[in-house]
Homo-oligomer: A and B are copies of this chain.
Amino acid sequence: MAEVVHMIDSEVFLAFSTYATIVVLKMMLMSLMTSYFHLTKQVFSNLEDTALVKTTEDRKKLVRVDPDVERVRRCHLNDLENIVPFVVIGLLYALTGPDLSMALLHFRVFVGSRFIHTVAYMMALPQPTRALAFGVGLFITFSMAYRVLTTALFL
């Protein structure tokens, strides 16, 4: 991290910005997918939300748990649990001045693994598809963390 200031203006940092933005946008799509399921399946978590699809009788029945909505929710939470570490550690990793090709490899594989993870989760593809996608993403983040700690360690 000796010349980190110059690093911020580098291609590595631009690449990080690009891939971090893409994968965070992907995560935000889970919010929209949840809303879509709520509205099309007419299943809600809050009584006041039922007014969005029904204004008269029996709105209470629409407040229930639905397996499809729960699946999107778990997929979304898994994104949060994995994409947040990628963004934090990836930012610090980008500032350690890695080779552009190595950095691109990390960013591309991570982002690819999360897209595969989402498709595998939403379509309930046979395991170990989703488990592998999850594991690859984890491995990439650990690999970047290793470089951050070996380059910048200051306890």
Contacts and interface: CB of A to CB of B under 8 A. Distances in A.
Contacts of A35: 131
A1, A21, A148, A153 — which one has the most chain B CB atoms within 10 A of its CB?
A21
Interface string A53-84: 00000000000000000010010110011101
Copies per assembly: 3
A14 B28 contact: no
Contacts of A2: 9
A152 interface: yes
Main secondary structure on A side of the interface with B = helix
Interface residues of A, number: 65
Contacts of A8: 4-5, 8, 95
A1 to B, nearest CB: 6
Interface string A10-49: 0101110110111011011011100100000000011111
A116 interface: no
Given A48-B126, A89-B21, A152 B14 contact: yes
Contact of A18 (B32, B45, B87, B153): B153
A135 B37 CA distance: 16
